[in-house]
Structure 1
Amino acid sequence: MKILFTAEHDGHLHELEAIGDLKIEGWAKGLPKLLESELIALGHDCDILITSYDDITANVIENCPNLKLIACTRANPVNIDVAAAQAKQIPVIYTPGRNSDATAELTIAHLLNSARHIPQAYRALKQKKFTQQHTQQSGAGKQKDCIWDVTADSPYEVFKGVELHNKRLGIIGYGSIGRRVGKIARAFGMELAIYDPYVSEIEVNEPGVIKVTLDELMRSSDFITIHLKVSPATENLINADKLALMKPTAYLINTSRAAVLDEQAVIEALREKRIAGAGFDVFANEPIYADHPYISELDNVVITPHIAGATREVLTNHTQMIAAEIQRFINHEPLLYQFK
């Protein structure tokens, strides 16, 4: 069994090496995405192709005559021409849930950072605000406790935030990631309001968790977090009209995809202080523009550069998932992660 491997990995490929002859190329070696011609040349005699980001086009599939299985180490194999593979009866497997824990944890980090203004406080200290000159003090002369006054420019007032405890978290999209976010949020003592047309009331039937309409979620939540895939039904789902329903004290978090909300409408809401703040890991154009209002103007938004899935464990997860799935394929067992 010959395997072309061009995926992200954690360096532990023994499970795949035990399956067959593993040819490691491209992204797996720290190189750029492979061109179509390079994929064809490298994969021409391979039985299995494992990739993360390379574009597996119909032309690649057509010109790799021995290909029996295509694996994509992502939650959605958007770079694979699945229809072309299916036409050749080549299964496409992928790794849903590989980064669910990582994304859920970053979402909670955005909740905390937004609620307590942690990045803003950190930046102020790095700029030497709210600090004092170092002096050598000893004994009774050393101050061990700092009690700030309550003037408007005191850090106690400048960075005064809100607690997650006893607040309502609205979760838009209650799939693998949304459920994990909800579980962690419940440990903070938050109430959950769920919007997901594909989830029944029975599935969320427990104290402190309710299923609501999207409008009700936008109106009643203290924090709102989005966990949606992009589709015709979700693109620009959170628009100016939906944002207008939010409390002025509420925060909006998005670690899924930028296309599910109207970014310009969010900028206006933040600019006019119609919502308290936001936390984003994704943007309409990536990498984010250096002069984007989130960077150059607004101080009520916490941003990270699309790193929700950037943990070492994610690489281990998807490698193990793919290796186990390939073994099931070889053993003619039902596939758990076949994309259809």
Structure 2
Amino acid sequence: MKIFFTAEYDEEQLKPLYEMGEVVKDGWAIGLPKMQEEELMEKSADADIIITSYDDITRAVIENAPNLKLIACTRATPVNVDMAAAKERGIPVIYTPGRNSDTTAEMTVGLMLSIARKIPMAYKALKEGKFTADPNAQKVTKEGLKVDMVWDMEPGSPYMVFKGTQLHGKTLGIVGYGSIGRRVGKIARAFGMELLIYDPFLCPIDLEEVGVKKAEKLEDLMKNADFITCHMKITPETTGIISREMIALMKPTAYFINSSRGAILDEEALIDALREKRIAGAAFDVYAKEPIASNHPYITELDNVVITPHIAGATDDVLVNHTKQIVADVKRFAEGRRMLYEYR
């Protein structure tokens, strides 16, 4: 059995795969760029199994591989696989749901803390030499007192410039309560936050816990949450769900967080709200167009936003997780057993 392998991976977890057939690594797996269709067609033509992360498994690639029996994609959704073409050939597609749920949830809470306490802004100021002392300066403590450090209350002092808000006691609105949303909620509860959940597929009986409530309407969540975080896949129903009208309902003290997909948000409306200080701030790992443009208002203009370059899932642990999932399911496939992660 020939396994054409272009995925990110963890070597230790991959070792059992070597016992199942000839593993040919190429592309991303050996540090090369994403393959073009023609190259992928040529190199995978005699493969029984294709395992990839980001290469486009198009109809042409599938039809050019007569021996192909299984496609594996190490992502939470196999968006780069032509599912219709695979189905026509009767080729199952496996994927790795939940591989980065913990990682993304932690990043989401990190973004919340960063914007609430203005951590990146304070870091940047210190690196630029602001609010620092002369290396030769010596502070004298008066007799009978202990060493102390107090900033004054002038508008330009860091105590005032970087004054933020704590998470404890605040309400976190979670839009989408799936694998990642639930993990974000669990961490937030440890901070002492209350949860307000909007998910039309969620039964209220699943939330029978003090401090956790379901919002029957998205409008209710937008009006009442102190922090709002979104964790949804892109569908016709979720595209643009955080609309200008929804943003207008937010408290002036509220923060918006998005580490899911840029398409769920009316980005221009959110920029207007930040520009006009109608909300307290926002933090993003995803954008309407990616990579984010160098002249985007988040970069060039707004000082009440924290941004990162779509890295919520970028940890070594994710590679360990999805390699385990794929290898285990390939083994099940080879043994004729039901696979755990077949995409339907």
More deviation in 35-44 or 179-188?
A: 35-44
* Alignment length (residue pairs): 339
Please, which of 161, 166, 176 is the counterpart of residue 163 of structure 1?
Answer: 166
Identity of aligned residues (%): 61
Q: Look up the equivalent residue of 1:226 and give its one-letter code.
A: C
Secondary structure at 1:153 match in 2: coil
**Greater than 6 Å deviation, 4+ residue runs:** 138-141
Unaligned runs of 5+ in 2: none
Matches within 5 A, 1:85-96: 85-96=86-97
TM-score by length of 1: 0.97
- CA displacement, residues 154-196 of structure 1 (integer Å, 9 cap, x when unaligned): 1111111111001000000000000000000000000000000
- 2:55 matched to which residue of 1? 54
Q: Is the 8 A contact 2:120 2:306 kept in 1?
A: yes
More deviation in 91-100 or 120-129?
A: 120-129
- 2:124 matched to which residue of 1? 123
Matches within 5 A, 1:319-334: 319-334=323-338
1:81 and 1:168 map into 2 onto residues whose CA distance is 41
1:289 and 1:11 map into 2 onto residues whose CA distance is 35
- CA displacement, residues 285-334 of structure 1 (integer Å, 9 cap, x when unaligned): 11111111000000000000000000000011101100001111111111
- 1:209 matched to which residue of 2? 212
TM-score by length of 2: 0.96
Q: Look up the equivalent residue of 1:224 and give its one-letter code.
A: I
More deviation in 303-312 or 11-20?
A: 11-20
Matches within 5 A, 1:63-74: 63-74=64-75
- 2:10 matched to which residue of 1? 10
Secondary structure at 2:256 match in 1: strand
Matches within 5 A, 1:77-92: 77-92=78-93
- 1:287 matched to which residue of 2? 291
Q: Look up the equivalent residue of 1:58 and give its one-letter code.
A: R
2:137 and 2:251 map into 1 onto residues whose CA distance is 49
- 1:246 matched to which residue of 2? 250
How far apart are 1:145 and its partner, in Å?
2.9
Q: CA RMSD in A?
A: 1.4
Q: Is the 8 A contact 2:141 2:147 kept in 1?
A: no
Secondary structure at 1:23 match in 2: strand
Q: Look up the equivalent residue of 2:129 and give its one-letter code.
A: K
More deviation in 302-311 or 55-64?
A: 55-64
Q: Is the 8 A contact 2:7 2:28 kept in 1?
A: yes
Q: Look up the equivalent residue of 2:44 and give its one-letter code.
A: G
How far apart are 1:112 and its partner, in Å?
0.3
1:301 and 1:42 map into 2 onto residues whose CA distance is 45
- CA displacement, residues 6-51 of structure 1 (integer Å, 9 cap, x when unaligned): 0112333212212211000011111111122222221121111000
Secondary structure at 1:294 match in 2: helix
- 2:179 matched to which residue of 1? 176
Unaligned runs of 5+ in 1: none
